[in-house]
Amino acid sequence: MQPKLKILDIFYGNKCNLTCFQCDTRSDIFRKGEYDPSIENIKQGIDLARSKFLIENYTLLGGEPLLYIDGIIELAKYIRSFDKQTTLMIPTNGILIDRHLDTMVKLVNEQKVLFIVSDHLTNFEDKTKSVKVKNNAIMLGEALGIPRNDPVNFFYDVFDWKNNKGDDHWQSWLDNVKGDISEGLENDLSFMKDRHGVIYKDYGVFQSHHKIDENNKPKPFNSHSADDSFINGCCSEFCSFLYDKKLYKCGALGTLKRFLTHHNVADDPEWQKYLAYKPVDLTNCTPQEVQRFSDTKHTCIKECTMCPATSSYQMIKTEEKVLPILRNVQAN
């Protein structure tokens, strides 16, 4: 079977105007762009990934894309230069949409991107900021002139929920997944046409990928079941993380080393199993390594035990877990 990726998450940088606790890309900790790759490095990584995998969809992933707008435009144009049909997703927290409305409309119309507005503020006691984010998403949809439509159809289409492509590996994941993809979408809004436009999603809850011990240090869950961790506790079951020309099974593994170094726990014996994870180095990998990554993308690996084995470790996003000022005060 040809090596393939359902979604390639392309990391562009950490800067963000929020500090969501347990952020996949660690933008709650690294906030000055100290690990941001260059545009040229990102393009080279994309080219290497394309040369080895069939990539179905792309996501530009990192901190807040509207803080990187020039680079986001350049990367969107680059992807469209070789693939006119793929879904190109750009998650944003939506707070800055009103400041960049014209630029975003142009980007959607010219490069056919899909902005996914992730509202991290919906569980705040004060709903003012969340209402603004939702209204910003609606404003963008109206500026695009796209009527509101059903978001479920998009997810069934992009993720090939009925496996019309006949992918055996993807089918094995579908056979194990619990629930239906339409669950939880009742608060979503979609203004989409031919896979581009804007979708608003309620992201007031997040899946934890580490726990905190009595000394306020991060610890892995060390689940006893890699399969259960992957199915119930993974926050990135089918997105592969591209950073510095290396491909990781998920963003949590791709950012783990610098995260643990920041917390001065890189020598903690409990983390060594996960630090030993080796990504696919796209500059010198073998065909066997590429095929192995593809074959195990939709299954557990031994490092999956880093995450919880149940979905009960979901975190409610409150003000102190999302807003920079409150997080900084709490940290001090």
User: DSSP code of 114?
Assistant: E
* Span 264-271, average pLDDT: 97
φ, ψ dihedrals at 162, nearest 5°? -100, 5
pLDDT at 40 over 50: yes
What is the SS3 assignment for 126?
A: coil
Lowest mean pLDDT among 10-19, 23-32, 66-75, 105-114: 23-32
The residue type at 172: S
pLDDT band at 332 (very low <50, low <70, confident <90, very high): very low
Check residue 24 and give its pLDDT: 86
pLDDT at 178 over 70: no
Q: Is pLDDT larger for residue 198 or for residue 150?
A: 198
What is the SS3 assignment for 289?
A: helix
pLDDT at 314 over 60: yes
Give the start-to-end residue ranges of the domains of the chain: 4-331
Inter-residue contact 147 to 231 (CB < 8 Å): no
Instruction: Give the count of beta carbons closer than 10 Å to the beta carbon of residue 330.
Output: 11
The residue type at 229: S
Let me know how many helices (H) and strands (E) the chain has, helices first: 12, 13
What is the bridge-based pairing of β-strands 239-243 and 4-11?
parallel
Check residue 23 and give its pLDDT: 92
* Span 205-222, average pLDDT: 93
What is the bridge-based pairing of β-strands 87-92 and 113-119?
parallel
User: DSSP code of 315?
Assistant: E
pLDDT band at 161 (very low <50, low <70, confident <90, very high): confident
pLDDT band at 312 (very low <50, low <70, confident <90, very high): confident
Mean per-residue pLDDT over the chain, rounded: 92
Q: How many CA atoms, within 13 angstroms, populate the side-chain half-sphere of residue 87? A: 27
Q: Is residue 111 within a helix (H) or strand (E), and if so which, with residue range? A: helix 101-111
